[in-house]
Structure 1
Amino acid sequence: MRTADVITNATRNAFRSKLRTTLTVLSLFVGAFTLTLTTALGAGVNDYVTKQVATISTGDVLIVTPAASTDTTEGPDAYDPDGRQQSAQANPLGAGTLLNDDDLDAMRDMDGVDRVEPVRQIAVDWVAPSGGADDERYELDVNPTSSIGRSDLVAGDQLDQEADEAQIVLPEDYLDALGFADAESAIGEKVELGYTDAAQADQAIEAEVVGVARTSLLAAGAGVNQSLTDTIAEAQAIPGQPDAYVVAVATLAGTGDDGAVTASDVDDVKAQLADADLAGQTVEDQLGVIQTVINGIIGVLSAFSVIALLAASFGIVNTLLMSVQERTREIGLMKAMGMSNGKVFSLFSLEAVVIGFLGSAIGALAAIGLGSAISTALSAGPLADLPGLTILLFDPVNVVVVILVIMLVAFLSGVLPARRAARQDPIDSLRYE
């Protein structure tokens, strides 16, 4: 029997017992459907995070905080009036210990560090069009890490951290409220920011709109440059209190082509920071933690798919073992007519592969159809404020891999029945009743 005939007969034989085969295909369908969806979820979220990293990070900055304490001595530490201060409240940007001016000076003296700027938290009460009335004021959150990197711009330019003029990057959803027809018309215009100083007096400052940014999970709020941050921070600083900072941003000097910062440059500065009892992370490092958590969750969801596939594999074994028993005399006749053990093994193995292909292909196609509809609905509804996020991204390569993996599982499940069929004695098989 030629190979083509073996494939044809295997496909035909897989449907001898239509009900049994259908139930086995359905069990594979569940695993393929779930695995395709979880794979698409992981691909969609990781693709969005990767795009955001490329948008907001230039790869040449480190977010620096005091190193986590590893002191194992018993009892509290002795008070040092010249040491680092402790934060009065929990802060998501760093630990409880704050940086001081000595830390900043130490960073500036490190090889490979071009510039160091502390991240100062400022409180802005409102934003309004320049010269706007009281009823044109709107609450505004300021992203305290604007100096870390770049904004995902709709229009305009990035903030100039070395400029003396106050600059702001507005979130896109503030355009209509502030009277701008579109993002382009806002560029170069002035807005007014209101804040309360240390004496609890109302103050206001004008800032030029240099860019308009899309909404992002990774960079919420308006972006302001260093000049504007310093002005408000100094006004809100409590007199007599020493300077202390939650985090600082160290801009690196690269040694690569065209002054690019290399991985070696980053590692060298990280080592120097560690020697100074400091810790530095790139934006990619911080988002890597997020991706690890996401991948862990997706891994747990995928485990349920694997359990479904394991259950389906027992169904394939059962289906083929029954098929071998029902076709015992047929097997004996084929072997008596000269069919080799290898051909018999191939015949039953291919039946398992055909069942695996049907279950995986139908499951994958159903997942793509339903998942695409869900993704479109979410993009137009709850996720409309996150442009660029495709929550379920069906990569053709991933889909093909899922199908091939399930076909492999089906093949392995069919090995035992196929071996039993191949090893049958033709005389005994022909006598089987």
Structure 2
Amino acid sequence: MKAADLVGSAARNTLRSKLRTTLTVLALFIGAFTLTLTTAVGAGVTDYVTKQVASLGADDVFIVTRTAGDTTEGPRAYDPKTSSASSATGGPALPGAGQSDPMTEADLEKLAGISGISRVDPVQAVAVDFVQYNGGGQFELSVNPTSSITRADLLAGAQLSESSGTRELALPADYVDALGFSDAQDAVGAVVQLGITDVLGARHQVDGTVVGISQESLLSSGGGANPAMVSALAEAQSAGIDTGPARYPLAVAYFDPALSSAQVSDLQESVAAAGFGAQTIQDQLGVIKTVIDGIIGVLNAFAIVALVAAAFGIVNTLLMSVQERTREIGLMKSMGMRAGKIFALFSLEAAFIGFLGSLIGVAAAVLAGSALNAALSAGPLSSLPGLNILLFEPGAIMGIMLLIMAIAFISGTLPASRAARKNPIDSLRYE
């Protein structure tokens, strides 16, 4: 019997007991359906995060913090030069700041002296109370002081300029209507007022020019401000009071963007050896991917459990088939069909069951997922352009189908082996 004949015979034999085969296929369908959807969710969110990280740019900077001292031997003695309380501003937590000690001018000089670091800029923490335009409503706004080193996903306008002396702001898209602008382009160039409370409790307003409107995204962190804007806010916040040596929650260290990944890692180790912690933008956002991968892994585990349960169903189905077709097996052997061919025949039947279950499950998942994508994009996720929560990749779909067929094939080896070992004379006598 030729290979094509074996495949055709296996397909026909699978459909002999339609009810039994249908129940087994349904068990595989559940696993294939679940695994396809969970894989698509992982691919969709990962693709979105990857695009967001790529749009950030900033391939030549570290976010640097001062490594906290060792506290394993109990509380540390108070040191006004390094106390984190001395630099508290009441503002929002900055990326990478954690619980590290504030950085001093001496730290900045030490960091700038590390081979491979071309420039170091301190980052000042500011806590904005509100944003207002032309005497209208006041709305809460958090300002990310490191936003000028990244590239925002803009809806209108231009990126923040690090070197400009103009106080520049980038506002999220949902502030356009709230502040009274007709559209995103109308907001570009407008001068808005930021309210800020100084250390003495007095309220100040600082003007800033809107240069860009950023798209909303999962990775957005409020409004953006260039160094000139941050400096003006920090000056208003300090109320001109000399609080002693300057302290900064973190700093931005620049290096050659042409460095390879290995060279960047070596430079990070050099910074760490000097007593600082250094992370790239991609390092900070990489934790998001880790969390996503963990969640998808747990969901995939449930799909695998369903497939394992279905594998036992395949074993049971084919064992019953072997039992029912004992005389047929004896006849095939007596007519010269070798044991290897019989083994291949029953194994192919198992693989065909796997093919049916995976094909139906994957097709149903793609149809349901496409409909869900359309509904979410027009509803709850409409504010996150570019996010397809379910991304069906052809390679992943093929991989799922091959995986399920492989599980089915392996499950069929036990019944196939039993069929191949049957004695033809005993089989022909079987009643």
Measured against the shorter chain, the TM-score band is over 0.9
Match of 1:36?
Answer: 36
| Structure 1 position 107 matched with structure 2 position 108 | no
TM-aligned CA distance change 1:50 to 1:162, over 3 Å: same
Which deviates more, 98-107 or 152-161? 98-107
CA distance in 2, matches of 1:34, 1:50: 24
Q: Which amino acid aligns with 1:361?
A: L
Q: Which amino acid aligns with 2:412?
A: G
CA distance in 1, matches of 2:217, 2:118: 28
Match of 2:364?
Answer: 366
TM-aligned CA distance change 1:85 to 1:123, over 3 Å: closer
Matched ranges for 1:175-190 at <5 A: 175-190=176-191
CA distance in 1, matches of 2:327, 2:213: 77
Structure 1 portions without partners, runs of 5+ = none
Q: Which residue of 408, 411, 416 maps to 2:409?
A: 411
With the length of structure 2 as denominator, give the TM-score of the two structures.
0.93
Deviation at 1:328, TM superposition (A): 0.5
Matched ranges for 1:97-246 at <5 A: 97-129=101-133, 132-133=134-135, 135-237=136-238, 239-242=241-244, 243-246=246-249
CA distance in 2, matches of 1:140, 1:75: 39
Q: Which amino acid aligns with 2:37?
A: L
Match of 1:77?
Answer: 76
Spell out, residue by residue over 1:69-124, the C-alpha distance to the aligned partner (whole angstroms, 9 max, x if none): 4554x233333343353465794632222222222222222222232222222122
Q: Which amino acid aligns with 2:76?
A: D
In 2, are the aligned partners of 1:66 and 1:278 still within 8 Å (CA)?
yes
CA distance in 1, matches of 2:114, 2:157: 34
CA distance in 1, matches of 2:312, 2:275: 57
Q: How many residues align?
A: 424
Q: Which amino acid aligns with 2:31?
A: G
In 1, are the aligned partners of 2:206 and 2:232 still within 8 Å (CA)?
no
Match of 1:270?
Answer: 268
Spell out, residue by residue over 1:185-217, the C-alpha distance to the aligned partner (whole angstroms, 9 max, x if none): 333332232323334333223222221110122
Q: Over aligned residue pairs, what C-alpha RMSD do you find?
A: 2.0
| Structure 1 position 303 matched with structure 2 position 305 | no
TM-aligned CA distance change 1:377 to 1:174, over 3 Å: same
Q: Which residue of 245, 252, 255 maps to 1:252?
A: 255
In structure 2, the residue corresponding to 1:180 is in which secondary structure?
coil
Q: Which amino acid aligns with 2:17?
A: S
Deviation at 1:415, TM superposition (A): 0.6
Spell out, residue by residue over 1:122-161, the C-alpha distance to the aligned partner (whole angstroms, 9 max, x if none): 12233233xx12x344332222331341111112221111
TM-aligned CA distance change 1:103 to 1:155, over 3 Å: same
Match of 2:424?
Answer: 426
Structure 2 portions without partners, runs of 5+ = none
Match of 2:6?
Answer: 6
In 1, are the aligned partners of 2:347 and 2:412 still within 8 Å (CA)?
yes
Spell out, residue by residue over 1:45-76, the C-alpha distance to the aligned partner (whole angstroms, 9 max, x if none): 1111101101113211111112254554x233
Match of 2:45?
Answer: 45
TM-aligned CA distance change 1:374 to 1:68, over 3 Å: farther
CA distance in 2, matches of 1:236, 1:201: 9
Q: Which amino acid aligns with 1:31?
A: G
Q: Which residue of 376, 379, 391 maps to 2:377?
A: 379
Deviation at 1:183, TM superposition (A): 2.6
CA distance in 2, matches of 1:114, 1:144: 20
Spell out, residue by residue over 1:326-385, the C-alpha distance to the aligned partner (whole angstroms, 9 max, x if none): 000001101111111121111111100110011111111111111222222222222222
TM-aligned CA distance change 1:81 to 1:128, over 3 Å: closer
In 1, are the aligned partners of 2:145 and 2:227 still within 8 Å (CA)?
no
Match of 2:54?
Answer: 54
Deviation at 1:427, TM superposition (A): 1.1
In 2, are the aligned partners of 1:143 and 1:219 still within 8 Å (CA)?
no
In structure 1, the residue corresponding to 2:120 is in which secondary structure?
strand
Which deviates more, 164-173 or 324-333? 164-173
In 2, are the aligned partners of 1:55 and 1:151 still within 8 Å (CA)?
yes
In 2, are the aligned partners of 1:126 and 1:139 still within 8 Å (CA)?
yes
CA distance in 2, matches of 1:77, 1:195: 34
In 2, are the aligned partners of 1:64 and 1:278 still within 8 Å (CA)?
yes
In 2, are the aligned partners of 1:66 and 1:95 still within 8 Å (CA)?
no
In 2, are the aligned partners of 1:10 and 1:348 still within 8 Å (CA)?
yes
In structure 2, the residue corresponding to 1:125 is in which secondary structure?
strand
Which deviates more, 196-205 or 213-222? 196-205
Deviation at 1:295, TM superposition (A): 0.6
In 2, are the aligned partners of 1:85 and 1:99 still within 8 Å (CA)?
no
In 1, are the aligned partners of 2:145 and 2:226 still within 8 Å (CA)?
no
